[in-house]
A and B are shown apart, each in its own frame.
Chain A
Amino acid sequence: MNMKNQIIRSVVIWLILALVAAPVFSQSETDNGAINNLRHQLGQVRDLLDRAKDIVRSSNNPIAERALIEAMKLWENARDNFDRGRYRIAAFLCRQAGEKAKAALSAARMAEQYEGAVVRRLERAGELLDRAKEAIASDDRQNLHAIYESARHNLDRAWEFYRSRIYKPALKLANQVEKTAEKIISASRDRIRIEEKFQRQLEKVNQLVEQARMTVADCDREAARHLLQQAEKSFGIAQEMEREHKPKAALQALKRARQMAIEAIRECQGMEQMLRRHERLRTQADRLSDMISPGSGASGDAARKLIRQAYEQLDLAREHIDKNQVEQAAASLKAAQLALSRAERHISNHQ
């Protein structure tokens, strides 16, 4: 019995041992794979830390430097635990070291505080400043030149900070230089815009003076001739001031030229004369309208269209006359007259 019991006990023990040993042996195989994998991960994180060292050092960013130190400590702990066979703890620390290294790199890049990016920004600021200098080369405004000089000085400072590996102020100065250069370029272009506006006004006043010349030639009044001379003189001064880059004086002279030309026209063409001219043109338009016979073809259609335009201009002229707007009324009457002349030519050709 005892013998039998002993045999049974031995079988049971062996069975238990077999049951226990099987997973133990299989786990050992799995652990070997995991351990190798962990060793590989430790190597990878080590590589990452080595590569990060130079970048973080050159970033001169204390937050990134601190994170990298922590990452290195975590890695050392991971390695230590790995050597002692505490693989789970080692794996956990290795993962944390990797995350911390990435965070350190990210912090180094976050403010773009790394050498290459700083150089790019400084060179870009220099290019913008060169463009600003070109923009103000023919600009007399001393303010813009003084601001340019300050910005140039700050760019020199930014390079000095860069050379001392102090990146944050170097970048801020570069930003400031860029903003200043953009302002200078913008102010310079505002001047071009003002000049463009002035040229348009110059053209308008030139047309008005020309109109005054024609009107005065017909009316033969001494006062009107005197006003026209004043207008022409002021117009000449405006052009001269503009050439000498004196926009304020040029604009004043131009305004005076416009005023004199209007007064010259008024002297010859009071509102009563305007009204008489308006009536005369309307009669002409009615007459031409009656002259177009049905079936007059393309010429007739063109003439009708022109007469319609003339009526529209005459209505507009009437509105300006009622509002005492001499310049606009004269322009509308002139446009009506032009349309009627062209309509008359179409009608003549057809007949």
Chain B
Amino acid sequence: MRNCGLGILLSFIALAGAIGDSALGSELDLSVGVGYEFISQEYFLDSLVQSGQDSLAATTALKTTYLDDLKAQLHLKYSPFEDRKVLLGSQYEQTSEFVRAKLLADYRPRFGRSRLDITSELDWRGRYEGSVEPGDDYLLGQTRARLTVPLSGSVSARWQLRADFVDFDSSSSFNYDHYRLGAKAGIGKFFADFSMLDIDLFLVTRRVPDSSELNYTNFGAEGAFLGFYANGDFDLFGRTEWKDYKQAGNKGDYWRAELEGRNKIRLADDYFTLQEIDFELSLFGGSDLISYDYTRLGFTALLGVEKHGLTFGLGGDFEHQSEINTEIGAGDNYFEAGLAAELDYIRLDQFFGSLESVWGYRKLENESDLQSSFSFERLDLIADWKLLGVINLNILLSAEWEWHTNKGENSQVFLVSSGLSYCL
């Protein structure tokens, strides 16, 4: 495996060297930078429960920092032709314990009115410091080829093949080598008012050489519609799928359906209303103690204003989950309601930012001494900023706080992923 990583690293260097004198019309993007990643969880354990009534301590906070890494990174992208139909790339990243190298290749030729789109990726990670544990070193590869053929002025057909694999240096029950093969076929239609409809059928199969229990076949259909009307637009996405693990008693099998909808109505003076709906139904084939059929329905309604690339929306966010036939009695049924605020700012090729906050309350139908209803605050920030045309700063941040009726269950989670790079 380490040889694979070395191979990728050498390819990286070779790629960089080969394009040293780039041909006319070619394009080279090279960036160097640093990044920081932080993931931490804090939760509270009631020591009266843990240690008995005689314990003097009341509540103990347990903090786990899963990731606190500073990394150096080098990215390279090379397009040999002006039309960018071929794109080669490589990424190198190093933290205090790990090295990661990635090779990317995209090929997008046209044959008359037909388009072929091939993307491939080879990713290697290895530990160079500390003791190596299962799952630390691996090689991952994936490739996807999609052919789109116009059938008429507005209708096109497409076929897609996809393959991926993971190869670990040492495997365990959670680090298992596997490969997946998938195919997709569908049609797309453009309407005169720019509305568009996509319908696809798909089939994916996973094989795990060391465990037949983890093999599965997944198949289904999905459809998307993007529509326009006089004062607004709407999106609809629907998907239905079956997953079959081919085990006795249909263990792990499920049928799932989901529907996502979004409707935006433009009112006068830059004001708008936005409604979002998210529905999910899962029915499990086998019977075990934790997989129960459920439905989940989410709804968001916002009133907002957008001007000069800035969008602000404020409204309500609701979600209800209902489980069916729970053998253990205490189903995960809940209803939550919250106040949602969204702030987006897009400045063409300079800044993209999105800040979302939901502050609300989740009422559990079945409370116990281990789980009680709670108030929460969820915060998400996505931002990418290009400074002076050569410096790029991006950040993904998520934070979540839960304040339970039973204070011993309070918890908080922080995730930060950021990068600062300089384009040479």
B328 pairs with A106, CB closer than 8 A: yes
Given the complex of chains A and B, what is the CA–CA distance between A137 and B84 in angstroms?
11
Most buried by B among A52, A169, A189, A190: A169
Given the complex of chains A and B, what is the CA–CA distance between A169 and B119 in angstroms?
29
Given the complex of chains A and B, what is the CA–CA distance between A104 and B41 in angstroms?
20
Report the minimal beta-carbon distance from B379 to chain A, rounded to whole angstroms.
Answer: 11
Asked if B233 CB lies within 8 Å of chain A CBs, one says yes
A102 pairs with B330, CB closer than 8 A: yes
Looking at B12-20, B149-157, B368-376, the stretch in contact with chain A turns out to be B368-376
Q: Which residue of A has the minimal Cβ distance to B195?
A: A196
Report the minimal beta-carbon distance from B388 to chain A, rounded to whole angstroms.
Answer: 14
Q: Which residue of A has the minimal Cβ distance to B166?
A: A159
Specify the main secondary structure of chain A where it touches its partner: helix
Asked if A192 CB lies within 8 Å of chain B CBs, one says yes
Given the complex of chains A and B, what is the CA–CA distance between A178 and B349 in angstroms?
22
What is the 8 Å Cβ interface bit string for chain A, positions 137-148, against chain B (1 contact, 0 not)?
100111110110
B415 pairs with A163, CB closer than 8 A: no
Q: In residues 114-164 of chain B, which contact A (Cβ within 8 Å)?
A: 117, 119, 123, 125, 133, 135, 140, 144
Asked if A116 CB lies within 8 Å of chain B CBs, one says yes
A106 pairs with B330, CB closer than 8 A: yes
Report the minimal beta-carbon distance from B306 to chain A, rounded to whole angstroms.
Answer: 10
Give chain B residues whose Cβ lies under 8 Å from the Cβ of A140: 349
B370 pairs with A147, CB closer than 8 A: no
Given the complex of chains A and B, what is the CA–CA distance between A142 and B27 in angstroms?
15
B384 pairs with A143, CB closer than 8 A: yes
Given the complex of chains A and B, what is the CA–CA distance between A156 and B392 in angstroms?
22
Q: In residues 207-250 of chain B, which contact A (Cβ within 8 Å)?
A: 226, 228, 233, 235
Asked if B329 CB lies within 8 Å of chain A CBs, one says yes
Report the minimal beta-carbon distance from A139 to chain B, rounded to whole angstroms.
Answer: 11
A179 pairs with B382, CB closer than 8 A: yes
B348 pairs with A116, CB closer than 8 A: no
B394 pairs with A66, CB closer than 8 A: no
B252 pairs with A116, CB closer than 8 A: yes
Give chain B residues whose Cβ lies under 8 Å from the Cβ of A173: 39, 415
Given the complex of chains A and B, what is the CA–CA distance between A154 and B41 in angstroms?
17
A105 pairs with B289, CB closer than 8 A: yes
Give chain B residues whose Cβ lies under 8 Å from the Cβ of A62: 45, 62
Give chain A residues whose Cβ lies under 8 Å from the Cβ of B66: 161, 166, 169
Given the complex of chains A and B, what is the CA–CA distance between A133 and B142 in angstroms?
14
Given the complex of chains A and B, what is the CA–CA distance between A200 and B348 in angstroms?
21
A66 pairs with B49, CB closer than 8 A: yes
Which one of B45, B349, B352, B415 lies within 8 Å of A172 (CB-CB)? B415
Report the minimal beta-carbon distance from B69 to chain A, rounded to whole angstroms.
Answer: 10
Given the complex of chains A and B, what is the CA–CA distance between A197 and B45 in angstroms?
56
A137 pairs with B117, CB closer than 8 A: yes
B370 pairs with A195, CB closer than 8 A: no
Give chain A residues whose Cβ lies under 8 Å from the Cβ of B369: 103
Given the complex of chains A and B, what is the CA–CA distance between A133 and B162 in angstroms?
14
A103 pairs with B386, CB closer than 8 A: no
B290 pairs with A103, CB closer than 8 A: no
Given the complex of chains A and B, what is the CA–CA distance between A240 and B329 in angstroms?
65
B123 pairs with A156, CB closer than 8 A: yes
Specify the main secondary structure of chain B where it touches its partner: strand
B50 pairs with A66, CB closer than 8 A: yes
- Known contacts A147-B352, A179-B382, A183-B354; decide if A55 and B289 are in contact (CB<8 Å): yes
What is the 8 Å Cβ interface bit string for chain B, positions 395-420, against chain A (1 contact, 0 not)?
01010100000000100010101010
Asked if B255 CB lies within 8 Å of chain A CBs, one says no
B396 pairs with A154, CB closer than 8 A: yes
Give chain B residues whose Cβ lies under 8 Å from the Cβ of A51: 288-289
Asked if A252 CB lies within 8 Å of chain B CBs, one says no
Which one of A107, A141, A165, A248 lies within 8 Å of B174 (CB-CB)? A165
- Known contacts A52-B289, A62-B45, A179-B380; decide if A195 and B398 are in contact (CB<8 Å): no
Given the complex of chains A and B, what is the CA–CA distance between A130 and B224 in angstroms?
14
Report the minimal beta-carbon distance from B98 to chain A, rounded to whole angstroms.
Answer: 10
Give chain B residues whose Cβ lies under 8 Å from the Cβ of A151: 396
What is the 8 Å Cβ interface bit string for chain B, positions 314-357, against chain A (1 contact, 0 not)?
00000000000000111010000000000000101111101010
A180 pairs with B396, CB closer than 8 A: yes
Give chain A residues whose Cβ lies under 8 Å from the Cβ of B352: 141, 143-144, 147, 187
Give chain B residues whose Cβ lies under 8 Å from the Cβ of A55: 288-290
Asked if A230 CB lies within 8 Å of chain B CBs, one says no
What is the 8 Å Cβ interface bit string for chain A, positions 286-301, against chain B (1 contact, 0 not)?
0000000000000000
Given contacts A141-B348, A179-B356, 4 further A-B contacts (CB under 8 A): A143-B352, A163-B175, A175-B398, A196-B228
Residues of B within 8 A of A (CB): 37, 39, 41, 43, 45, 49-50, 62, 66-67, 108, 117, 119, 123, 125, 133, 135, 140, 144, 174-175, 193-194, 196, 226, 228, 233, 235, 252, 262, 288-291, 328-330, 332, 346, 348-352, 354, 356, 366, 368-371, 380, 382, 384, 386, 392, 394, 396, 398, 400, 409, 413, 415, 417, 419
Q: 8 closest Cβ contacts across the A-B interface?
A: A196-B194, A143-B352, A163-B135, A143-B384, A106-B330, A102-B328, A176-B398, A107-B370
Residues of A within 8 A of B (CB): 48, 51-52, 55, 62-64, 66-67, 102-110, 114-116, 130, 133, 137, 140-144, 146-147, 150-151, 153-154, 156-157, 160-166, 168-169, 172-173, 175-176, 179-180, 183, 186-187, 189-190, 192-193, 195-196, 199, 247-248
Q: Would you list 11 pairs from A and B whose C-beta atoms are within 8 A, ordered by A residue?
A: A102-B330, A109-B290, A116-B291, A141-B348, A147-B382, A147-B396, A150-B417, A160-B135, A173-B415, A193-B228, A196-B193
